[in-house]
Amino acid sequence: MLTFFCGRPDAILEALEDSYSDSYERLFSKKSSVVDMSRWVNLEGLEGLLERAAELSGVSIPKLVDSLTNEGWSRDEEGKRIACVVVKEPLVRSLASIPPAVASKAAAEWAERLGPPADDSVRYPLRVRAEEFLTLFRSCKKDKKIVVMGYGGELPVDLEFEAGASPHPQAASTSSDIAFFAGDARHIGEALEDGHEGKLTRATAESADFSFHLGMGDLDALALECANAVGKPAIPLSESIERCVAGDATQAWRQREWSADVLRKQWVERWSGLTEERVDEVGRKWISRFEGAEPTPLLEAVRALARVCRAAGEKGLDVVFTWRAG
């Protein structure tokens, strides 16, 4: 999650505290006053856009990571810490001073660098969202300010969090709530449907067990860290489901009690391109979002996922993602 809002900070902070309120819905309905960057890039990745805007405009632009105040709030929601803070004025004023034509060029060049070659399906929306981000700062006038909302682990701010409200992943006592397998998708699906461990072992070249009571947002955050490490736009796991090989395929994917699905090759390739050192770097950055978590099991799971994707790429195998609700 990484969303920027322009408006009166007290009203924004209050509206965002209750996601079921009418004011929350109204806030997100004002398209000119909100830009959601969650799918495309994290806070660190946006620094490249600001650097390019500074180079083209000659304007001195502070780093985004250094421009977050402690004015705001935080809470835990579904096992994830969410923070909402006001952005410092120097960054807002510097970006507001950039001419529209320069902002548009900076957005286009930044998207060109991040997007896959000859893939306008990624580069075009990335450029549009970058332009909207820069335009949002230009629209910040008078008593308005910029407020950013994101996961606490992704916003480097020092806020007082609610006592005792820092849940972290714990290993599941059952077999595998979430797992990845490299192998023949049909055989893996049949083994999972039958609950046959022997068949599953024979059908699998590599596997990664993520039985840590994680949410889909946690796995999308891991995909984002991986994408940043290889210098490419993020492909969320939740948007990389190709076809069902086990589970109730008649139900919409998110409505199933459990499912096993083949993942898009583009998602797999993000991981197969990482060296072992970069895998560990990605894993440690991701693990930092879970306060108090034992890092070793999570890091081992990330390493195993990289091996799954590497084996799939080298041997031409499918990667099957399986999960079970609850």
Cα distance from N-terminal residue to C-terminal residue, the chain: 22
User: Is position 223 within any domain?
Assistant: yes
Strand intervals (E) in 18-67: 34-36
User: Is position 28 within any domain?
Assistant: yes
User: Is position 172 within any domain?
Assistant: no
User: Is position 159 within any domain?
Assistant: no
Q: CA nearest 238: which of 257, 214, 263, 258?
A: 263
Claim to verify: residue 23 and residue 139 sit in the same structural domain: yes
* φ, ψ (nearest 5 deg) of residue 171: -65, 135
Claim to verify: residue 25 and residue 83 sit in the same structural domain: yes
Q: CA nearest 133: which of 92, 189, 192?
A: 92
Claim to verify: residue 80 and residue 184 sit in the same structural domain: no
Claim to verify: residue 201 and residue 303 sit in the same structural domain: yes
Q: Are 225 and 286 in contact (CB under 8 A)?
A: yes
pLDDT tens-digit profile, the chain (326 residues): 678 888 887 778 777 766 656 767 776 676 668 887 766 566 777 888 888 899 998 888 888 877 877 677 766 655 566 777 788 888 888 888 888 888 889 988 887 776 554 445 555 677 788 888 888 887 777 667 787 777 555 565 444 333 223 333 433 333 347 899 999 999 999 988 887 778 888 889 999 988 776 777 788 888 888 888 888 877 888 788 888 998 877 777 666 778 899 999 989 988 988 888 999 999 998 888 776 667 788 889 999 999 999 999 999 999 999 987 65
What's the whole-model pTM score?
0.50
**240's tokens:** 């990389």
Q: Among 154, 189, 208, give the residue marking a domain's end.
A: 154
User: Is position 50 within any domain?
Assistant: yes
Q: CA nearest 223: which of 277, 178, 280, 267?
A: 267
pLDDT value of residue 293? 63
* Residues ≥6 apart with Cβ < 8 Å to 39: 234, 236, 239
* DSSP secondary structure letters along 56-100: HH------GGG-EEEEEEEEEETTEEEEEEEEPHHHHHHHHTS-H
- What domain range includes position 235? 178-324
CB atoms within 10 A of CB 100: 11
pLDDT value of residue 158? 44
Claim to verify: residue 196 and residue 97 sit in the same structural domain: no
Q: Which helix (H) or strand (E) holds 267?
A: helix 265-272
User: Is position 161 within any domain?
Assistant: no
User: Is position 93 within any domain?
Assistant: yes
Claim to verify: residue 193 and residue 287 sit in the same structural domain: yes
Q: How many domains does the chain have?
A: 2
